[in-house]
Amino acid sequence: MKYGTIILQILLCCQFTVKAQESLTDKTYFNRFFELEPEISRHRYYGYPKKKMDNFYTVTLYSLKGIKVADVVYRKNLSNKQGTTLVYDSAGKLRLKAHFDENFTSGIVETWFANGNKADSGSAARNMHVGVWKTWYENGQLKEYKTYTAKPFYNGPAYHGAPIIINNVVLLGELVTSNSLEKEYKSYFENGLLKDSGYYNKNGLRTGIWQEWGNNNTIRMIGFYRKGWKTGAWKYYDTKGKLLFVIHYSQRKYGAGQFIPINRAE
């Protein structure tokens, strides 16, 4: 009798599991994060999951008004996005394509304007930008060129993670990963002319020569950064490219710097 009860419990458990899996093919509701949502007040989308293979499901999501919103690949419980997600606007045009790994963006991410021109393109790792990223104006002109690097850092006691011991001191936090700009940076005006350019070091600080131009291709500013600090003589120009004044900055000191006017006849 005892063993019969145990077997019955196992069978009931298996029946429940099968039923739960079968129910995934029914009309299912999701929240604004495209995650499975049992709470009615948080329903934003619905779809009919289709089993792809093993524990993977594909779902075409619709707004509550029946407008197609996205195609999403899930793993297991319809909360973990795994694979390529496509997001559409109300006119049915593709606006975002991103690859997810365990609910984190990981891989190529691309977005488009409503007119079909690309808006952003780059790579991601655990929801962070990595590598070269490009952004465009709606007219198709390149807007920014920048490079991101991911690196670990300690984010302090506000984060309730596993304790870390550094120099025999227990810290109530954990090492996490963040990203920052690195290497070459460029931005452009909508007419295609260069707006400003410079470099970031491996710590995400501006370094070396930085320059800024007007939208008529005349130099407006030029100066030098050292580990994120303005240093030396920074030159500023008028809209015609004539030198207006110079500000001399002492290395690694806060302040407005020493203003040096330029006396010249107009």
Strand partners, 224: 209, 231
The stretches of 30-145 forming alpha helices (DSSP H) are: none
Q: How many residues comprise the chain?
A: 266
**Per-residue pLDDT at 257:** 67
Q: CA 205 from chain center: how many Å? A: 19
**Rounded distance between C-alpha atoms, residue 150 and residue 156, angstroms:** 18
Q: Give, rounded to a whole angstrom, the gap between the first and last alpha carbons of the chain.
A: 107
Report the alpha-carbon angle 124-125-130, nearest 5. 55
**Per-residue pLDDT at 185:** 95
Low-confidence stretches of the chain (pLDDT beneath 50): 1-23, 153-176, 265-266
Q: Is the pTM of this model over 0.85?
A: no
DSSP SS3 for 14? helix
**Per-residue pLDDT at 12:** 31
Q: CA 94 from chain center: how many Å? A: 18
Q: What are phi and psi of 262, to 5 degrees?
A: -110, 120
User: CB neighbours (10 Å) of residue 9?
Assistant: 10
**Per-residue pLDDT at 11:** 30
The stretches of 53-93 forming alpha helices (DSSP H) are: none
Q: CA 36 from chain center: how many Å? A: 23
Q: Please name which of 149, 148, 145, 166 lies closest in space to residue 157, comparing C-alpha atoms.
A: 166
**CA dist list (Å): 16 to 8, 12, 27, 58, 59:** 12, 6, 18, 22, 23
**Rounded distance between C-alpha atoms, residue 47 and residue 215, angstroms:** 48
**Per-residue pLDDT at 14:** 34
